[in-house]
């Protein structure tokens, strides 16, 4: 990956570093890949599937438990096992794509995901279903970082912002509509076996994406060194496992029983950081170049912002589901439809944000976070005060505002975080960014529902108090993300004024290095 002198090289503009990075990068006089937009849609469909599978399964857990005669703890692994395997492999898979070719890793991972989806749908026992979900999570984690890396490879300048806008819309919408899609599938697929179609539906979509991907994705010679960092892989995997395992087992008392894994995980990650610095000093190829965090403009703050945002973003969806289904008696489908305004707003705003990020830069995420905090704060107040039979209707406008803000957070943050990352590191960098988001999501999905239940116990089943307090705590994480965004925006303004000539220093154009 990077030799000692290469650590500083991460600051060099992608336009001069990308030579050989792919047809879409137009190195050495080559034009842009004519298939780049169709290739993007293939990657987005695959990305939508793997992210949707994080949340879509939750509504079908009762049906799985009844048919397979499983315990609550065992069936919970159908959700938590997928999320855990997904997060564990992200950085390593990104590095593998950088080294051996993103097209190859994307297609192999997508094929494995389709096979595992079919296996999960056909599983006759809970044990085989959990195994299928674990392997499906590994395949999804291998595929995910290739998406952002292929965008880096295929697009430059304003086109890259638009592509990341669509990517951000995919992330936001897939997270939000999982319960809706799951409820629809269960409503259409009658009978005890209806839950199996939640997995089977991936098969035809995945096969079509696989065929199109094999035709449209660019064939580019691998640009990295043909070896990995096995010690780094083991240290990073052990650290992430230690941090995430108590969180994904929170419903079974994992945080209470396994709290000691948190300091262990932090210690292992510190050892990982030391090992990576040692590898760079010795001229080796690290799993994750330390220069990404220490010398790449905007990467560390963008990764931190994304992690903090996903604490609140991921956690509130479970809180909404608990409130609408357990508190108000909604069906899974109606519960999902109640929060659809957020998903719609997020999709629209993310696509628009992709066209504006080159002009406004980090300022988009600042204003986006203001809108998210205003929308979710208003939603908390409405659900706290509104009568049960009108709560969903009254909350819809506030959720729409929050969704519009979210669209201006996720996709611009991805663009701004990865803008100065050399294409040769794009997979590992994208994997690390998504790992932070998965960790933040795990914290949110463990902490906010836990607080919801604690409030119910303290208030004798007052669901309105519980939902308002849990959303309020999710907002606290978003306030922290807002502080990071403001600091990064101010730093960018200072840097732009320092490097721009006096006559252009007040330009609204953000210095974005495609």
- Asked whether residue 8 is assigned to any structural domain, the reply reads no
375 and 388 part of one domain:
yes
C-alpha 37/C-alpha 22 separation (Å) is: 14
Each residue of 6-20: b (16+ CB within 10 Å) or e? bbebbeeebeebbee
User: What is the average pLDDT value for the chain, to the nearest integer?
Assistant: 81
Q: 122-126, 175-179, 398-402: lowest mean pLDDT where?
A: 175-179
* Radius of gyration for the alpha carbons in the chain, expressed in angstroms and rounded: 22
Q: Are residues 348 and 375 in the same domain?
A: yes
In a domain, 506, yes or no: no
DSSP, res 512 = -
274 in a domain, yes or no? yes
**Do 398 and 469 belong together in one domain?**
yes
How much is the average pLDDT of 169-194?
78
**Span 443-450, mean pLDDT?**
83
Residues 468, 339 within the same domain:
yes
What gap in Å lies between CA 444 and CA 244, rounded to an integer?
12
Residue 174 to residues 300, 360, 374, 403: CA-CA distances in angstroms? Answer: 25, 26, 22, 13
CATH number at residue 78: 1.20.1250.20
Q: Are residues 217 and 282 in the same domain?
A: no
Q: In this predicted model, what pLDDT tens digit does every residue of 22-35 receive, in sequence order?
A: 333 434 335 677 88
Check if the beta carbon of residue 387 is closer than 8 Å to that of residue 121.
no
C-alpha span between 234 and 460 (Å, rounded): 46
Confidence tier at 373 by pLDDT (50, 70, 90):
very high
Q: Taking the C-alpha atoms of 442, 199, 210 and 80 in order, what is their torsion angle to the nearest 10 degrees?
A: 20
Q: For residues 281 and 296, state if they share a domain.
A: no
pLDDT exceeds cutoff 80 at 310? yes
pLDDT value at 508 more than 60: no
For 248-288, the pLDDT digits (tens) are 777 777 778 888 989 998 999 999 988 888 888 887 778 88
Query: Is residue 211 located within the same domain as residue 71?
Result: yes
pLDDT at 9 over 90: no
What is the C-alpha to C-alpha distance for residues 507 and 359, in angstroms, rounded to an integer? 9
pLDDT higher than threshold 60 for residue 12: no
- Give the total number of structural domains in the chain: 2
pLDDT recorded at residue 114: 95
- 183 and 254 together in one domain: no
Q: What are phi and psi of 339, to 5 degrees?
A: -105, 10
What does the pLDDT look like over 312-370, one tens digit per residue? 888 888 888 888 888 888 877 788 788 889 888 888 888 788 788 878 888 999 999 99
Q: How many CB atoms lie within 10 A of CB 260?
A: 10
CA gap 249, 256 in Å, rounded: 10
If you average pLDDT over residues 128-157, what whole number do you get?
90
**226 pLDDT exceeds 70?**
no
Encoded tokens for 446: 């463990």
What is the pLDDT, as a whole number, of residue 295? 78
pLDDT confidence of 506, banded at 50, 70, 90?
very low
Residues 409, 414: Cα–Cα separation, whole Å: 9
d(CA 322, CA 449): 8
Residue 490 predicted with pLDDT over 50: yes
Please tell me the predicted confidence (pLDDT) of residue 483.
93
pLDDT in tens, 397-410: 999 999 999 989 98
366 part of a folded domain: yes
CA 48, distance to chain mean position in Å, is 11
Percentage above 70 pLDDT, the chain: 88
pTM: 0.78
Flag whether 58 is in a domain. Answer: yes
Could you read off the pLDDT of 212-225 as tens digits, one per residue? 999 988 876 555 55
Q: Same domain for 280 and 338?
A: no
Closest CA to 149 of 247, 86, 215, 222: 222
Shared-domain flag, residues 347 and 241: no
| pLDDT of residue 4 exceeding 70 | no
Identify the CA nearest to 142 among candidates 116, 118, 163, 122: 116
**Shared-domain flag, residues 366 and 386:** yes
Taking residues 419-442, what's their average pLDDT? 82
Residue 220, Cβ density class (10 Å: 0-12 exposed, 13-18 middle, ≥19 buried): buried
pLDDT at 15: 36
User: Residue 317: its pLDDT value, please?
Assistant: 81
* Least confident span in 8-22, 148-162, 486-500: 8-22
Q: Is residue 125 part of a domain?
A: yes
Among 82-91, 127-136, 360-369, 419-428, where is mean pLDDT lowest?
419-428
Domain that holds residue 329: 18-23+34-228+287-496
Mean pLDDT of 428-455: 84
């Amino acid at each position: 990956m990077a030799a000692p002198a290469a650590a500083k090289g991460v600051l060099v503009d992608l336009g001069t570093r990308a030579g050989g990075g792919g047809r879409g990068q137009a190195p050495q006089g080559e034009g842009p890949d004519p298939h780049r937009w169709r290739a993007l849609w293939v990657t987005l469909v695959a990305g939508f599937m793997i992210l949707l599978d994080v949340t879509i399964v939750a509504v079908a857990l009762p049906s799985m438990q009844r048919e397979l005669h499983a315990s609550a703890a065992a069936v919970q692994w159908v959700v938590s096992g997928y999320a855990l395997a997904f997060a564990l492999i992200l950085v390593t898979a990104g590095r593998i794509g950088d080294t051996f070719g993103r097209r190859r890793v994307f297609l192999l991972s997508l094929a494995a995901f389709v096979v595992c989806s079919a296996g999960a749908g056909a599983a006759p026992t809970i044990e085989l279903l959990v195994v299928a979900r674990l392997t499906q999570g590994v395949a999804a984690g291998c595929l995910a970082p290739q998406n952002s890396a292929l965008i880096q490879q295929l697009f430059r300048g304003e086109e890259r912002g638009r592509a990341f806008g669509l990517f951000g819309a995919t992330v936001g919408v897939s997270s939000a509509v999982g319960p809706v899609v799951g409820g629809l599938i269960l409503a259409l697929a009658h009978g005890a076996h209806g839950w199996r179609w939640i997995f089977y539906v991936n098969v035809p979509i995945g096969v079509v994406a696989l065929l199109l991907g094999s035709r449209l994705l660019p064939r580019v010679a691998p640009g990295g060194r043909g070896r990995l960092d096995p010690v780094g892989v083991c240290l990073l995997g052990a650290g992430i496992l230690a941090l995430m395992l108590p969180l994904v087992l929170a419903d079974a008392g994992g945080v209470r029983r396994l709290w000691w894994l948190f300091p262990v995980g932090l210690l292992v990650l510190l050892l990982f950081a030391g090992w990576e610095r040692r590898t760079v000093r010795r001229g080796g190829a690290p799993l994750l170049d330390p220069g990404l965090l220490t010398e790449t403009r905007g990467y560390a703050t963008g990764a931190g912002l994304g992690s903090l945002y996903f604490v609140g973003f991921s956690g509130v969806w479970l809180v909404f589901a608990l409130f609408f289904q357990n508190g108000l008696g909604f069906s899974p489908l109606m519960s999902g439809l109640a929060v659809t305004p957020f998903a719609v707003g997020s999709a629209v705003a993310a696509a628009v944000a992709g066209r504006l990020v080159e002009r406004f830069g980090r300022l988009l995420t600042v204003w986006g976070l203001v809108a998210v905090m205003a929308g979710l704060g208003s939603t908390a107040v409405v659900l706290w005060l509104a009568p049960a039979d009108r709560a969903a209707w009254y909350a819809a406008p506030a959720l729409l505002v929050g969704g519009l803000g979210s669209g201006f957070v996720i996709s611009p943050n991805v663009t701004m975080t990865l803008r100065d990352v050399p294409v040769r590191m794009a997979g590992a960098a994208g994997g690390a960014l998504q790992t932070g988001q998965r960790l933040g999501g795990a914290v949110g999905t463990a902490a906010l529902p836990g607080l919801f239940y604690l409030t119910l116990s303290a208030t004798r089943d007052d669901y309105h108090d519980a939902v308002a307090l849990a959303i309020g705590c999710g907002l606290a994480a978003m306030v922290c993300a807002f502080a990071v965004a403001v600091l990064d925006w101010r730093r960018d303004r200072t840097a732009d004024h320092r490097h721009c000539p006096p006559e252009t220093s007040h330009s609204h154009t953000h210095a974005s290095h495609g």
